[in-house]
Amino acid sequence: MKATPTVLDPAGFELPPDQKAALRWTIYIGYFALTAGIFHGLAQALSYANIDILRFFPGLKGYYQGLTAHGVANALIFTFAFSNGFLPLMTARALGRPLVGWLVHAALATLVIGNVLVIYAVTTNQASVLFTAYAPLQAHWTFYFGLVLVVVSTWLALVNMLVVLRGWRREHPGARIPLLGYISVISYVMWLLASLPIAVSFLGFLLPWSLGLMQKIDPLLTRTLFWFTGHAIVYAWLLPAYVSWYALIPAQAGGRLISDSYTRVVFILFLILSIPTGFHHQYTDPGIPESMKAVHAVLTFGVVFPSFATAFSVVAALEIGGRARGGRGLLGWVAKLPWGDPSVVAQMLAMLAFVFGGVSGLINASFTMNQVIHNTTWIPGHFHLTVGAAVTLTHMGVAFWLIPYLTGRGLWSRGQALTSAWVYTIGVFIFSRGMISAGLEGMPRRTFRVAATYSNPAWDFGGMLTGIGGTLMFFGIAQFFVVIAMTALAGSRAGSPRDIPITETLTAPATTGWERHLDRLGLWVLVTVVLCVIAYGPFLLTYLPPKLVSPGYRLF
């Protein structure tokens, strides 16, 4: 079968240098946030092993201030800064067109200002409300407004991608959108739709309430709006990683992607199923009809399907690579994969971790089993295997070629890059094993165990593993920073990649037949909106108007 490049212009395309620089700085902001975040992560992990290092943090007023910093920096800023740099670059490269310069800079500026406001609110202990920002805990207005700006910066990045896509479509009437561009755009279109409820919550309720323009708030409504966005947000973190797994990793491993249409169907399923599932975070919340929770539970099992499909596709692509490199027999190809390439290795370890992240997610999603593990450390066990491993390790792996590509400097120390990925992975497995088993024994999440007036010997072993694993994760990421910083400052000018690794597909995109409808973004957006109305309409119709009952509380 004839192999088909996913880009029309495989000869290579250079982004203007100022745009490259802005995208690089966008990603660096994510690294700055992650740097702050991992110190707090270390402290959180050790606290479950009954070791208190928080008291050595200068200026830190309390546990929840540190936990807020950790969640916001790592889960919100790091992830979106990466996506804001990565997805527009992928779109521009795939479509062979430059981005809109002022939009790149505007997205960066908005991200910076948003960050400054959030950092101000959190470091002055005026926003120890955790990343979920549940009312009636009330933060300083700069916290809400700063996060709104971070979201606005993601919208600007998407607008940029859509402008590039529109220009490309005008020049190529009737042509299929190159796959890499298509999956990059669809990832952020999903996020745009997903982010609207939280925009309503922050701009319509939390911000005016924190400014004193509104005296009371509706905790259940704002919480529901948070999770309306908040489940889909996890896929907004995951999909950029999937972009790499589908469209880049096969090329890096010497393989090919099995099917163009299959990949598009997977991303469409994520678009339409990611959002109408938020009640699976609220199974235990009063005030939401059980029947609607059941609808969301079923849809949650639906959104697992495209991940199963992904597992099949990426393993097949890796197998093609392993066999092309001389692998034989049932599993001989695994040994032939490029285990010396830190970029590929970090991402294969990410996939491995995601198997366990996915399995634990299925347990969360099961209505009855959720009762056992909700609000226990099982949950951070789950999400460090997903966002904290599948996503983070993929970002690390991508950085090992992306930062050289963006800086024009070769990767500094392949060996250290490899070690950082392995140390982090071993750490996250030990950490999650600890959190998950202690969670099954009922160890509560979001609790400063060192100071708790209750304990249980059954938590000791899991707590200890959490501390050990968290420490290894800290050193793994710290070493990653050394590699990245040394690459940017001292990498060899000769060793940088001139292009990004783009995969070829075994089957070409069809130019006739039903597959053409896969490119009709407007149609799929409409289907998504209809599903969201079905999933959230009945609740909102019976619940509204808002019940503004609670004043704000500051317990910090």
Q: List contacts with ligand HAS (CB under 6 A).
A: 132, 234, 237-238, 280-281, 300, 303-304, 307-308, 310-311, 314-315, 318, 334, 348, 351-352, 354-355, 358, 361-362, 364-365, 370, 374, 379, 382-383, 386-387, 391
Would you say 225 or 234 has its CB closer to ligand HAS? Answer: 234
Place of tokens 């999903």: 190
- Residues, the chain, total? 556
The Cα-based distances of 4 to 10, 59, 249, 311, 507 in angstroms read 10, 57, 16, 22, 7
In a 3-state reduction of DSSP, which class is residue 452? coil
- Write down the least CB distance from residue 529 to Cu ion, Å: 20
Which string of DSSP letters, residue by residue, matches 89-106?
Answer: HHHHHHHT----HHHHHH
Residue 209 binding: pick among Cu ion, ligand HAS, none (C-beta 5-8 Å cut-off by kind) = none
DSSP letter at 544 equals P
Residue 421 binding: pick among ligand HAS, Cu ion, none (C-beta 5-8 Å cut-off by kind) = none
d(CA 487, CA 491): 4
Tell which residue, 3, 77, 6, has the closest CA to residue 36: 77
Half-sphere exposure of 171 (CA within 13 A, CB side): 9
Residue 374 binding: pick among Cu ion, ligand HAS, none (C-beta 5-8 Å cut-off by kind) = ligand HAS
- Write down the least CB distance from residue 364 to ligand HAS, Å: 3
**H-run or E-run covering 381:** helix 378-385
State which residue has the least CB distance to Cu ion.
Answer: 231
Would you say 252 or 386 has its CB closer to ligand HAS? Answer: 386
Would you say 247 or 365 has its CB closer to Cu ion? Answer: 365
Residue 251 binding: pick among ligand HAS, Cu ion, none (C-beta 5-8 Å cut-off by kind) = none
In the window 227-266, what residues touch Cu ion (CB under 5 A)? Answer: 231
d(CA 485, CA 209): 42
Would you say 48 or 383 has its CB closer to ligand HAS? Answer: 383
Angle between helices 101-123 and 63-70 (to 10 degrees): 170
Would you say 352 or 485 has its CB closer to ligand HAS? Answer: 352
State which residue has the least CB distance to ligand HAS.
Answer: 358
Residue 364 binding: pick among Cu ion, ligand HAS, none (C-beta 5-8 Å cut-off by kind) = ligand HAS
20 forms part of the interface with Cu ion (CB under 5 A): no
Catalytically active residues are: 231, 235, 382-384, 445-446
- Write down the least CB distance from residue 510 to Cu ion, Å: 34
- Write down the least CB distance from residue 272 to ligand HAS, Å: 14
- In single-letter form, the type of residue at position 524 comes to W
- Write down the least CB distance from residue 198 to ligand HAS, Å: 14
d(CA 366, CA 373): 11
Would you say 70 or 231 has its CB closer to Cu ion? Answer: 231
Residue 362 binding: pick among Cu ion, ligand HAS, none (C-beta 5-8 Å cut-off by kind) = ligand HAS
Residue 35 binding: pick among ligand HAS, Cu ion, none (C-beta 5-8 Å cut-off by kind) = none
Residue pair 321/255 in contact (Cβ under 8 Å)? The answer is yes
Tell which residue, 115, 120, 118, 116, has the closest CA to residue 133: 118
d(CA 441, CA 360): 16
d(CA 471, CA 485): 21
Residue 304 binding: pick among ligand HAS, Cu ion, none (C-beta 5-8 Å cut-off by kind) = ligand HAS
Would you say 224 or 370 has its CB closer to ligand HAS? Answer: 370
Q: Give the x/- contact pattern for Cu ion in 195-234, rule: CB under 5 A.
A: ------------------------------------x---
- Write down the least CB distance from residue 511 to ligand HAS, Å: 29
How many binding residues for Cu ion (CB under 5 A)?
1
Residue pair 467/48 in contact (Cβ under 8 Å)? The answer is yes
Which string of DSSP letters, residue by residue, matches 487-545?
Answer: HHHH--TT-S-SS----EESSPPPSSSGGGGGG-HHHHHHHHHHHHHHHHHHHHHHHPS
- Write down the least CB distance from residue 345 to ligand HAS, Å: 9
d(CA 190, CA 87): 13
- Write down the least CB distance from residue 234 to Cu ion, Å: 6
d(CA 497, CA 493): 10
Which string of DSSP letters, residue by residue, matches 310-360?
Answer: HHHHHHHHHHHHHHHTT--TTTHHHHTS-TT-HHHHHHHHHHHHHHHHHHH
Instruction: Please give the residue ranges that form the binding site for Cu ion (CB under 5 A).
Output: 231
